[in-house]
Structure 1
Amino acid sequence: MIKGSATLEGTLNYAQKYPLLVYQPLVPTGIRISGAGFGCYRVDVRVKEHQQALTKALLSGINLIDTSANYADGGSERLVGKVLCDLITANKIKREEFVIVSKVGYLQGENYSLSQERKSEGQPFKDLVLYDKGLEHCIHPEFLAEQLTRSLDRLGIETVDCYLLHNPEYYLNWAKQAQVPKIDARAEYLRRIRIAFLHLEEEVAAGRIQYYGLSSNTFPRPASHFDFTSLADIWDIAQSISPQHHFRVIQFPLNLLETAGVTEKNQPGGKSLVEFAVDKGLGILTNRPLNAIREERLIRLSENVYQGEANRQANEFKSKVAMLDPGWINIPALSQLALRALRSTAGITAVLMGMRQEVYVEDVLHELRQPCEVVERKKTWKHISEL
């Protein structure tokens, strides 16, 4: 078991080793993180190439790791644990230099089997969302406690730096299908989040996590949508628990085709999600930088995956976007432009990038080493949304 957690001193010392990279506080005056994090969605401890990629990232200036209990059915967390243990044992890194984020909520694979066993014994998890065959969801404190124990064991650490509720809006999706009235569904949704937050404060006090937060694909949705997750409501819950609460981080999709996190005015006072989060001092982690979902279709923001007419269209889109902002001109690849757009926008703390191969890690590092001005860019994102 690796002792300790990320610290301000440790992350500042790490940052000093890589002067060409920019590190920002995850929380005000707190631990520092690299502009891009190693996203662990499709990595597994059984794949040597993934181990090599994570090792390269951690030894090259990337000190943020984002994983989840359900990624590769636990294999993603095991990968992080193995690489950390190997590098710390070899005295190449220190635990206090790295920020580890994990998430909880999904019951798939091993967790789904566990859920079925408990049901057969007459002890199902409480507040369980029966979403689909082979897929359930839960954020009840009993489940959170059990899952955090398993995550810490797979990661081989005593403290997760940030623990996120993973897409709790699955309850709202279920409620809509079940024809629960919207007002009732919203009240129940917030009740479930509140008792989850109360439990996570206990986990902070116990030293098993430093901070907690929420990862939701529906943070950027219009407020009128049934499955909209209101950051203002979530913030009010945290404030009602304690002014010294540890709700400090949000995560959501933001990319050149999914711009709503910046452009949709879905928070009080006509503010966007990013504006509201910045006002409250929340750390903002964005995901899906290269994998946009539009009209239920996955669109890759990289011209390298397209041929013929599709390649031409990707390059044309890149040219149109680059012309919208002086800081984005002359960037050679669409994937690099996609990262530049995010990291040059004020308020974005870090971009979670899939880096399953060492060459992907180097591509990300190449962009991170390029200087760029970080400003608001609201008008630019609005123009992008109109392309």
Structure 2
Amino acid sequence: MKRTTPWFDVSRIALGTHLGEMNEADSALYQESIEFALCNGINFIDTALNYRGMRSERDVGAVLSKLFKKDRINRDDIVVSTKAGIIPGDIDLQLRPENYLKEKLLQTGILQETDLQIVDQHKHVLAPCYYEFAIEQSLKHLNMDTIDIHYIHNPEISMKVLGEERFYKNLEQLFSFYEDQVLAGKIRFYGMAAWTAFTVSPGDTGYISLEKVIETAKNTAGSSHHYRFIQTPFNFYNQIAATDQNQQVQGKWRTLFQAAEELDIYVTTSAPLDCGRLKNHQNSKKLIRFVLDTPGVLSTMIGMRTIQTVKRNLALI
């Protein structure tokens, strides 16, 4: 069973690629599970430039290239989302994130030190020049001409450092870049994949108002803007997106799911098993079904590194 947007249909479960080791063994497992999923009812893949030292995107790309060549799937039938904003490492080049930042981004002039927002060990950027670089890298890894959804990854990091005024000003510049990328055919839509930004208290320094984000998109491109998706954690033990009225729309407090619906935004969710910590829970199937049955969830991202896991989750839909 799939869920519908005005632009494409997606499976209720998407194959997530966050967890796992940065080695050939896990890449082989992922490629097997991705191929099986795409050929058996799951048409939505979620990844990120920084996942597993860039291996996750490369694993997705290897499978897509294989299946396209064999005409086993059509490009128009699948949806791929990826993310940027967090400084990645590159396991193939044996570069940890701090070395990748220095050698591939700072020394080449793609980024300046002033572009970095740093909270503890987390480094984040909103500079359009970085996203241009990141999108090109992702397209190459994925063996695709167009990314369906490109997310700003964990934007709350930049919000904490910049504060509201500077954050939304920078965001407007980034959105203008994104709209140009849509016109160039590099991406179809963009959004934010947050960890806490949309669900913390409005008084939190990392809080992001979805209404203000949409106002920024409209200021950039009018009502025809392409900011149409967000991603947020949601599971049985973290139901904040459905229970807490922390988002304001036209002066009225709403839950994140309610606000998204009123603002014409589609919500994908992550961490249905709390990033794998609940995978051996005696009622793990029940926990996933809870998310699948929650109104307002377009699709939930579930890490599936083995064919066995894919089969188990396919049975739920």
- Partner deviation per Cα, 1:182-233 (whole Å, 9 max, x = no partner): xx71111222222111110000000000000011112111112111121111
Task: Quote the residue 1:36 is aligned against.
Answer: 13
Look up the SS of the partner of 1:277 in the other structure. helix
Match of 1:252 in 2: 232
Structure 2 matches for 1:1-387, cutoff 5 A?
A: 22-25=1-4, 27=5, 29-42=6-19, 46=24, 47-110=27-90, 112-117=98-103, 118-120=105-107, 124-125=111-112, 127-132=115-120, 135-173=122-160, 175=161, 185-218=163-196, 219-241=198-220, 242-268=222-248, 269-291=252-274, 300-302=277-279, 304=280, 334-368=283-317
Q: Is the 8 A contact 1:45 1:76 kept in 2?
A: no
Amino acid at match of 1:191: K
Q: Which ranges in structure 2 are unaligned for 5 or more consecutive residues?
A: 91-96
Are the counterparts in 2 of residues 152 and 160 from structure 1 also a CA contact under 8 Å?
yes
* Closer/same/farther in 2, CA of residues 362 and 123 from structure 1, 3 Å limit: closer
Question: AA paired with 2:306?
Answer: Q
Alpha-carbon distance in 2 for matches of 1:290, 1:360: 13
**Change beyond 3 A, Cα 1:365–1:172:** same
Whole-angstrom CA distance in 1 between matches of 2:11 and 2:41: 7
CA contact (8 A) 1:216 1:229 kept: no
Identity among equivalent positions (%) equals 28
**Cα offset, 1:124, TM superposition:** 3.7
Q: Taking structure 1 as reference, are residues 87 and 119 closer, same or farther at Cα in structure 2, changes over 3 Å only?
A: closer
Change (3 A) 1:335 1:49: same
SS in 2 for 1:146: helix
Q: Is the 8 A contact 2:247 2:259 kept in 1?
A: yes
Counterpart Cα distance in 1 of 2:297 and 2:167: 27
Question: Which whole-Å CA distance do the structure 2 matches of 1:172 and 1:147 have between them?
Answer: 20
Tell me: CA distance 1:355–1:240, structure 2 relative to 1, closer, same or farther (3 Å).
same
Cα distance in 2 for partners of 1:120, 1:247 equals: 32
1:45 offset after TM fit, Å?
7.7
Cα pair 2:110 2:130 within 8 Å, conserved: no
Question: 1:121: Cα distance to partner?
Answer: 6.7
Match of 1:12 in 2: none
| Cα distance in 1 between the residues matched to 2:82 and 2:277 | 25
Go from structure 1 to structure 2 and tell me whether the alpha carbon gap of 1:214 and 1:193 turns closer, same or farther (over 3 Å shift): same
Structure 1, unmatched stretches of 5+, are 1-21, 176-183, 293-298, 306-332, 369-387
Q: Which of these two proteins has the greater Rg computed from alpha carbons? A: 1
Other structure's SS at 2:316 match: helix
Q: What is aligned with 1:309? A: none
Aligned residue for 1:4? none
> What is the alpha-carbon distance in structure 1 between the residues aligned to residue 111 and residue 63 of structure 2?
35
Secondary structure of 1:291's aligned partner: coil
Q: Classify 1:51/1:45 alpha carbon distance in 2 versus 1 (closer, same or farther; 3 Å).
A: farther
Q: Distance in 2 between matches of 1:99 and 1:119?
A: 32
Give 1:34 deviation, angstroms.
0.2
Aligned length: 301
| Corresponding residue for residue 312 of structure 1 | none
Tell me if the contact between 2:233 and 2:272 (Cα under 8 Å) persists in the aligned partners: yes
Shift of 1:340: 1.2
Tell me by how many angstroms 1:93 deviates. Answer: 0.9
C-alpha contact (below 8 Å) 1:112/1:136 kept by paired residues: no
Alpha-carbon distance in 1 for matches of 2:256, 2:47: 23
Structure 2: which amino acid aligns with 1:54? Answer: I
1:120 is displaced (CA, Å) by 5.0
